[in-house]
Amino acid sequence: MDDLPGLVVTGASGRMGQTLIRLAGSSDKLRLVGCVERAGHLWIGRDVGECMGGPALGVKVTDDPLEAFAKAQAVVDFTSPAATVEFAALAAQARAVHVIGTTGLEPDHLAKIEAASRHAVIVRAGNMSLGVNLLVRLTQKVAQALDADWDVEIVEAHHRMKVDAPSGTALMLGQAAADGRGVTLDEAKVSGRDGITGARERGTIGFSAIRGGDIVGEHDVIFAGEGERIVLRHLATDRAIFARGALKAAVWGQGRKPGQYDMMDVLGI
């Protein structure tokens, strides 16, 4: 057991953090060696298993990422963009594989992550599930097969606590549609329509976001033509799908060359 790669989970008390810790407990490929939360959090200094209402796991929650990462071979990170950028530099320093699930990353965050990936393995994906990564591939293929007479609309739904929109997954799907069409997403993207918007512009890729309740994540990619419509849909009902993908990426990244990878690399699709 002791020779398994050591795993640190950041954002330990979060929805994804707790799911990861539960799954890591039954993994035969990784062992949990550390948990990080933000300074001042109620869980700091306490055993993470007890914080989650279960038996002690022998791992205390810390607000010192540097200390935690020093004993890790993998850091799995579903937190916030600012925290993720800080963790990318520290994980690279510790030569630990950094798996990034955090979404809402802006270009300046991405540049810092890119810099960290010169020294360490980073696996980053706006969605870590097998189903969504397949949906991305399908979206690209369908967009490639159809011309701009087919309007592309991406509709996503998430729980009421989600802070960014469109979701990271919706953007991945939009990027796939743009790639299939041979256009850039920045130019084709239209989101948050409201008021007198005018008729739909040919060739654009539209985004709509629904927020409510405890919805884990739903994505429709609609290709709307004259007299017919294709809808590609993924429904996530359990966030364990993201956590399983992230842990798989943490194992896959061991011993790889430094650089940035995504779930397509991990899943080989």
Catalytic residues: 158, 162
Our finding on whether 15 is near ligand NAD (CB under 6 A) is yes
Least Å distance, CB 256 to ligand NAD, is 19
Query: Which residue from 33, 36, 48, 136 is in contact with ligand NAD, where contact means CB under 6 A?
Result: 36
Query: Which residue from 11, 49, 180, 253 is in contact with ligand NAD, where contact means CB under 6 A?
Result: 11
* C-alpha distance from residue 153 to each of 11, 64, 188, 189, 262 (Å): 33, 43, 11, 10, 24
CB 231 within 8 A of CB 220: yes
Q: Give the integer Cα–Cα distance in Å for 77 and 36.
A: 10
Nearest alpha carbon to residue 128 among 167, 181, 81, 183: 167
Our finding on whether 126 is near ligand NAD (CB under 6 A) is yes
Least Å distance, CB 200 to ligand NAD, is 28
3-class SS of residue 188: helix
Q: What angle do CA 106, 107, 108 make, to 5 degrees?
A: 95
One character per residue 169-208, x = contact with ligand NAD (rule: CB under 6 A)? ----------------------------------------
Our finding on whether 17 is near ligand NAD (CB under 6 A) is yes
CB 69 within 8 A of CB 8: yes
Our finding on whether 62 is near ligand NAD (CB under 6 A) is no
Q: Which residue is nearest to ligand NAD (CB)?
A: 14
Size of the site for ligand NAD (CB under 6 A): 26
Part of the chain binding ligand NAD (CB under 6 A), chosen from 27-35, 122-130, 221-229, 249-257: 122-130
Our finding on whether 103 is near ligand NAD (CB under 6 A) is yes
Other beta carbons less than 10 A from residue 193's beta carbon = 11
Our finding on whether 78 is near ligand NAD (CB under 6 A) is yes
Our finding on whether 166 is near ligand NAD (CB under 6 A) is no
Our finding on whether 101 is near ligand NAD (CB under 6 A) is yes
Based on CB atoms, which residue is closest to ligand NAD, 150 or 169?
Answer: 169
CB 87 within 8 A of CB 98: yes
Strands 217-224 and 229-236: antiparallel
